[in-house]
Structure 1
Amino acid sequence: MPEKEKLRIDKYLWAIRQFKTRTLASDACKAGRVKLDGNNIKPSHEVRLGEVYQVSKGPDRKVIRVVGLLENRVDAKTAVGFYEDITPVEETHAFKTMFHAPMLKRDRGTGRPTKRDRREIDDLKDDLLENKNESPL
């Protein structure tokens, strides 16, 4: 793969498949969702080897270190070789457990809950929230 000496951050993030389009990568930089040493950077920022960037996409936050410069977009297996994901385990674990929260569902076709059902649902939700906020220590 050809490597380049000067490369814009928006093009680099697009090439390593952090964003689907270069426009999305550029917009993320403009919105302050791409940071270098805690500071917002512009889409025209030059990428250098060894720099560490914090990239936020919705609830997903990644910390990546530049290992190689990549000018054109390549397949995902190849792109992984041009950056190192150094996201702390706590952040990745917190993101994944967010989707494993218990969901309350009613059987389809049972109709609207009665006043009594509604009170039971509210009590159950309150119990779940109280147990969640309690610290195991």
Structure 2
Amino acid sequence: MDEPMRIDKWLWASRLSKTRALAAEAVKAGRVQVNGVAAKPSKDVKPGDRLELRTGPVRVSVVIRGTAPRRGPASEAQRLYEETPESAEARIRHAEERRLARQEGGEGGRPTKRDRRRLEQVKGVRRREG
């Protein structure tokens, strides 16, 4: 189908957003632009429109290829848009940087019990006996 569709519904159907509520929230927050202009959730999009979506540090730029009356499988959803080469390259580069940062210990997260005990030993913290 190639008839106009609400942007929040399209983002959800194309699986660029997990829920329609999150899609509407992203649009209201100004993280979605249609043809270079900030959109409202009720904005209709149609094939040929250029959409830019910011999710955290990643910007996704796509060209809308079609609309769908309902949310279908991911394989169908991928046919609704075409990601621009610059956007795909930036997304892949960001994923690689995150992977490397994780390997280097940049995003270690919560320390394990063993790590915590070593930290306490280095800091000279005495644990209470209970």
TM-score by length of 1: 0.71
Aligned residues: 113
Structure 1 gaps, min length 5 = 116-137
How does 1:40-79 map onto structure 2 within 5 Å? 40-79=38-77
- Report what 2:126 is aligned to: none
Structure 2 gaps, min length 5 = 124-130
Deviation string 1:47-73 (CA, Å, 9 cap, x unpaired) is 021111101122232111111111210
- Report what 1:134 is aligned to: none
**1:10 Cα offset (Å):** 0.5
| Range moving further from structure 2, 31-40 or 73-82 | 31-40
CA distance in 1, matches of 2:96, 2:26: 25
Corresponding position: 1:111 with 2:118: yes
TM-score by length of 2: 0.75
Deviation string 1:76-108 (CA, Å, 9 cap, x unpaired) is 011111110115154123311331121167993
- Report what 1:39 is aligned to: 37
Percent of paired sites with the same residue? 35
**1:36 Cα offset (Å):** 1.9
**1:40 Cα offset (Å):** 1.0
Whichever residue aligns with residue 49 of structure 1, its letter is: P
Q: CA RMSD in A?
A: 2.3
| Range moving further from structure 2, 96-105 or 10-19 | 96-105
